[in-house]
Amino acid sequence: MAIERWYPFTDLMSLRQAMDRLFEDSFVRPSRALVGGDEVSGPVLDVYQTPNEIVVKAALPGVKPEDVNVDITGDNLTIKGETKAEQEVKKEDYLYRERRYGAFSRSVILPGGLKSDKAEATMEDGVLTLSIPKAEEVKPKAISVKAKEKK
């Protein structure tokens, strides 16, 4: 068994950092219980690009396509909608109620140079897929390299 040197100030600093984090989480940021348990206040997104377009996928389980509004203003994409609760079960009969109901909204900044007027949105199995084509000037272009002739 090896003997290890103990540095009490190192442990003290980590305790101080833990206390700072505790106070910051409690007073500066709202509690997870107050905002519904998630850090993200809207639908979760996947945003990626291909050579020809930007693709945005949003998880919207239980949302009907007619209850979703997609708006692109400049480089800002906003997805809004609403989920409605079933009125079959009385509030006092619930054991757990974790599903969210009500209005939601999520905005993200997209890269420039997109043809937002040509965007297409489809909904399948609770996933909204938005395809936004890139303008010709922002698509990647291959430039061939030619050898220079010696004189």
Judge whether 82 and 104 are in contact, CB under 8 Å.
yes
User: Is residue 52 over pLDDT 60?
Assistant: yes
Instruction: Give first-to-last CA distance, the chain, whole Å.
Output: 76
> Is there a contact between 70 and 129 (Cβ–Cβ < 8 Å)?
no
Q: Would the CA dihedral through 90, 91, 94, 98 be positive or negative?
A: positive
Q: Given this model, what pLDDT does residue 26 score?
A: 66
- pLDDT, tens digit, 9 for 90 and up, residues 88-114: 666 677 676 667 778 888 999 988 888
Q: Which residues contact 71 (CB under 8 A, 6 or more apart)?
A: 77, 78, 80
Please report the pLDDT score of residue 71 as a whole number. Answer: 92
Confidence of residue 149 (pLDDT cuts 50, 70, 90): confident
Nearest Cα residue to 128 out of 68, 50, 41: 68
Mean pLDDT check: name the lowest of 2-6, 34-38, 133-137: 34-38
Measured CA to CA, the distance from residue 65 to residue 121 in angstroms comes to 10
Report DSSP state, residue 52: S
Q: Is it the case that residue 45 has pLDDT exceeding 70? A: yes
pLDDT confidence of residue 70: 93
22: left (phi over 0), alpha (psi -120 to 50) or beta: alpha
Mean pLDDT, the chain, whole residue set: 79
What would the pLDDT profile of 129-138 be if each residue is shown by its tens digit? 999 998 887 7
